[in-house]
Structure 1
Amino acid sequence: MSDPLGLAIDRAAGARPIAGNTLDHHPDSAVALATMLADIAAARRWIHLENYIIRDDHTGRRFADVLAERAAAKVRVRVLYDALGSIGTSHRFWRRLRQAGVAVRAFHPLLSLHPLEVLKRDHRKLLVTDGRTAMTGGLCIGDEWAGDPARGRQPWRDTMVRVCGPAVTALDAAFGRLWLRAGDPLPDDELDADPAECGTSPVRVVAGAPARAHIYRSVQLLAASAAERLWITDAYLLAPPPLYAALLDAAKAGVDVRLLVPGASDLPVLRNFTRVGYRDLLRAGVRVYEWQGPMLHAKTLLVDRRWARVGSSNLNVSSLLTNYEMDLIAECEELSEALAAQFRRDLAYSREIVLEPRRLKLPPRLVPAPAVPQGQERAVAHKRSGYEMGAVAVVALRRVAGGLRRAIAWTAALICAGVGALLLVFPRVMSITLAVVAFWLALSFGLFAMQRRRARRADDEA
């Protein structure tokens, strides 16, 4: 008997379920990094590493050492990084890898004649070794994810899934398509692995691409189908209106809708925008929790006891519509239960946000409440790094300054005032700068239009 929801997910995701896989849940970032390093060290044919952020720090150099060692052992090693996400990584780091025999490519360099392409980033996090094992999720390569126990700094909370089975072929093919967009294609014999079944879990490999909205449409369908629970963990939640409405409708229909988001983010502005929608969500019955530990960077979704989604996509416009992303949608009871158990454990680090009525008909105030019973043991305290302390300070200052909408408005006002002041003080320099930018955009758009015209002619002639 056909499954209408399954067929709808197939079409929305642009992917069919691939049977016969084992899906191992990795909620500990440090352990996930160690597993990735072990898989790289065990590779014998090829290594495909694709990540939005690869830092030139202790963790990044650990990966560089193992990649270089495998390249010296005649393993074909390829690294694809995003030029914007890894903008702070030194040229020396990449040069060392290339000198060791590693093929390294930057995705969509920032200096380009195609300004629209610059907005389309490779936000995927993927490792494939020998075409037989893969890891994907939300974890980047950097010290934030490794932590530093000696200094009391816990790793960022993230989620990865290790895949064994036929689905690895689809993940490797997705890497090959983006590798081609950054240069020459992969050799044919580098995609010829035929991994045997090693489990019973079916999984859809959702390779998100700009304007295709694969994971966006899939999440909407999953949210609309929820009958019992809809639990979402997201690092940079800023849901588009249709998805936001789906969360409200599910909660009003009696579904247990819970959102777990960072209490302090490495991007404070996005965190403020996330809080703008809290009141409507809480009034509809959605339960909102803010994580109080180190940065919460995971991107997961649970629907009832059937569907589980883990990947790189945040529920915001950038991830859902403009980036290249990688997500897994699994019908796997084991993974679903593991994610549910982790969600409950995460609540020990969190505070539930509730509405507190105020006098004089003012809007209710958002206040934190303990997310776990008072007698329950709390999680070990996290000593924040200087970077995280800076993010917390920004959030605290904005709270003191006033309401969230007002803080955002003041930020915009100050930026505009600053640009206006620069135009008054340095009129010649600013006018030349604006003129150069305008001519660069005109040239880029003109070239883009010519390319599209030639492409249309070629299609008509074909």
Structure 2
Amino acid sequence: MLAGLIGTLALACHVAGIAAAIHAVMHVRTPQGAIGWMLALIFVPYFALPPYLFLGSSHFHGYTQVQRLRSRQTRPAPWPGRGEYLAKHPPRPECARYRAIGRMLGARFHGGHRLRLLIDGAATFAALFDAIGQAERQVLVQFFIIHDDALGRRLQQVLLERAAAGVHVCVLYDSIGSHALPRHYVDTLRRGGVDIRPFATRRWRNRFQLNFRNHRKIVVVDGWRGFLGGLNVGDEYLGLKPPLSPWRDTHLEVQGPAVADLQRSFARDWRWATGEEAPFMPPRAGPGTASVLTVATGPADPQESGSLFFVEAIHAARRRVWLTTPYFVPDQAVLAALRLAVLRGVDVRILLPARPDHRMVFLASTLRAHEAIRAGVRLYRYQPGFLHQKVLLIDEDTAAVGSMNLDSRSFRLNFEITALAVDRAFAGEVEAMLAADFARSRAVDLAEYRHAPFLRRLAMHLVWLLEPVL
């Protein structure tokens, strides 16, 4: 009886494995990923089926369908004076070389922005808490990670104070990134009048759905002060948790019409998470000269917009590509763009962390770094602490600050947001910041891989097989 039951269950598992293998062949985006899943699901379905349920899906259709339906039902009118303002502050002519990025995203550059570079956690959260503390009508907050620690409780307190003052406060957090956030933290905010919701990409099995995470970091105050970048809310982002401290990161404050794009990105995610419309306030004129394109990418896009953003930006470079990322696991398209930039004579430098926070990703990143060095890319490892910033510098006039890493998750599986800014003065600030970072780094050569122990090199290549889901 028991043997018959076990045999039936084993047969059912193999049938389900074959069905899942067919699904993988039809739907997994890369041949390597499809082959890997197919073999595992056919030969070891007992072990492969559970992770495939949570990691195998590479498309996210429901979000797109809901947004299209709701956008047809409710189309918010432009803010008063929008046309006049945009006509008065056209984008810089240099923005034309990034036209393909705007067409891909259905977005456009806007001129007349004031930008403020925020270097590391202390400066970032001082600016954020100051802006929130001055809010008069509305605060929108979105983070991938919120911790219930000293920094998280500071955020909680300032939000409760503004809600008590009658400010409309909306908070969105990712349910996996913030899985450790205790219920009492959320309940305290709700009792205090803060509308706080989790972003869940599935109505079922979300707790174990590791794909399609909302990695965006957005704060908008009264519709005219916007913040985005690499920092989440936790003490480690202030460099208070060894062994990764000091924590190196970068955020950005934006004033100008791009803040309306930040609000729209928040509103799309808010609709998906709540079924409700998020409040909108028109931005004010930014007393600055920068042109900004808001690059909001995600798995619901019809194309792999994260990867294509980097490809097009790198192709636009004629003299310099400086790039910083904590996770360097680029796909072949981005790696080819970097190789071609080197062949054009472009100064291509990439700054990576010297310390790992995720060991498997670090191993894969080390292997990719070796490939890049062989192609003529100059690689550096930041020495003082962990490097988490996501910054791109193109030539003398373009810089990007945001949440996108150079890995498959940011390219295809996560919701991300970045500001692409064209302005010589701002690019000069970013250049000075990165030059200081490179000065605190050591150059990487081929010996990092070649002189590594055999077992470590073997581990790099084994982890490389998992690259599509790292």
Q: What interval of TM-score do these two structures reach, taking the shorter chain for normalisation?
A: 0.7 to 0.9
The amino acid of 1:79's aligned partner reads V
Tell me the TM-score normalized by structure 2. 0.74
The corresponding residue for 2:331 is: 240
The amino acid of 1:54's aligned partner reads I
Change beyond 3 A, Cα 1:317–1:22: same
Q: Does residue 326 in structure 1 map to residue 379 in structure 2? A: no
The corresponding residue for 2:371 is: 280
The corresponding residue for 1:200 is: 289
Q: Deviations over 1:347-373 (max 9, x none)?
A: 2331111124xxxxxxx8557xxxxxx
The corresponding residue for 2:150 is: 58
Tell me the distance in 2 between the aligned counterparts of 1:322 and 1:410: 18
Gaps of at least 5 residues in structure 1 are 357-363, 368-398, 414-462
Change beyond 3 A, Cα 1:211–1:31: same
Partner secondary structure for residue 386 of structure 2: coil
The amino acid of 1:202's aligned partner reads S
Contact 2:328 2:369 survives alignment (8 Å): no
Q: Does residue 253 in structure 1 map to residue 344 in structure 2? A: yes
Tell me the TM-score normalized by structure 1. 0.75
Tell me the distance in 2 between the aligned counterparts of 1:411 and 1:199: 44
Change beyond 3 A, Cα 1:42–1:8: same
Tell me the distance in 2 between the aligned counterparts of 1:203 and 1:240: 26
Q: Deviations over 1:259-294 (max 9, x none)?
A: 101111211110110111233321221110011222
The corresponding residue for 1:422 is: none
The amino acid of 2:459's aligned partner reads R
Change beyond 3 A, Cα 1:407–1:332: closer
The amino acid of 1:156's aligned partner reads W
Q: Does residue 299 in structure 1 map to residue 410 in structure 2? A: no
CA RMSD of aligned residues (A): 2.6
Specify which of 95, 109, 112 is matched with residue 187 of structure 2. 95
The corresponding residue for 1:394 is: none
The corresponding residue for 1:449 is: none
Deviation at 1:343, TM superposition (A): 1.0
Change beyond 3 A, Cα 1:205–1:407: closer
Structure 1, 301-310 or 99-108: larger mean CA deviation: 301-310
Q: Deviations over 1:96-149 (max 9, x none)?
A: 111111101001177715799762111001100000101101110000112349
Partner secondary structure for residue 402 of structure 1: helix
Q: Deviations over 1:286-325 (max 9, x none)?
A: 1100112221110011111122111101111111112111
The amino acid of 1:30's aligned partner reads A
Contact 2:186 2:196 survives alignment (8 Å): yes
The corresponding residue for 1:424 is: none
Change beyond 3 A, Cα 1:275–1:105: same
Change beyond 3 A, Cα 1:109–1:244: closer
The corresponding residue for 1:172 is: 263
Q: Does residue 402 in structure 1 map to residue 426 in structure 2? A: no
Counting only pairs closer than 5 Å after superposition, residues 36-51 of structure 1 correspond to structure 2 as 36-51=128-143
Q: What is the aligned length?
A: 372
Contact 1:30 1:155 survives alignment (8 Å): no
Q: Does residue 35 in structure 1 map to residue 88 in structure 2? A: no
Tell me the distance in 2 between the aligned counterparts of 1:241 and 1:15: 26
Partner secondary structure for residue 179 of structure 1: helix
The amino acid of 1:257's aligned partner reads V
Contact 1:84 1:109 survives alignment (8 Å): no
The amino acid of 1:214's aligned partner reads S
Change beyond 3 A, Cα 1:134–1:216: same
Contact 1:307 1:331 survives alignment (8 Å): yes
Contact 2:364 2:464 survives alignment (8 Å): no
The amino acid of 2:458's aligned partner reads R
Change beyond 3 A, Cα 1:406–1:109: closer
Specify which of 99, 107, 114 is matched with residue 7 of structure 1. 99
Tell me the distance in 2 between the aligned counterparts of 1:66 and 1:229: 41
Q: Does residue 145 in structure 1 map to residue 237 in structure 2? A: yes
The amino acid of 2:295's aligned partner reads V
Partner secondary structure for residue 77 of structure 1: strand
Contact 1:207 1:324 survives alignment (8 Å): yes
The corresponding residue for 1:384 is: none
The amino acid of 1:405's aligned partner reads L
Tell me the distance in 2 between the aligned counterparts of 1:410 and 1:271: 10
Q: Does residue 222 in structure 1 map to residue 325 in structure 2? A: no
Deviation at 1:4, TM superposition (A): 5.2
The corresponding residue for 2:249 is: 158
The corresponding residue for 1:262 is: 353
The amino acid of 1:347's aligned partner reads F
Partner secondary structure for residue 178 of structure 2: coil
Tell me the distance in 1 between the aligned counterparts of 2:276 and 2:135: 21
Regions of 4+ moved over 4 Å: 1-4, 113-118, 151-155, 364-367, 410-413
Partner secondary structure for residue 93 of structure 1: helix
The corresponding residue for 2:81 is: none
The corresponding residue for 1:380 is: none
Partner secondary structure for residue 182 of structure 1: helix
Tell me the distance in 2 between the aligned counterparts of 1:260 and 1:152: 20
Contact 2:121 2:238 survives alignment (8 Å): yes
Change beyond 3 A, Cα 1:80–1:266: same
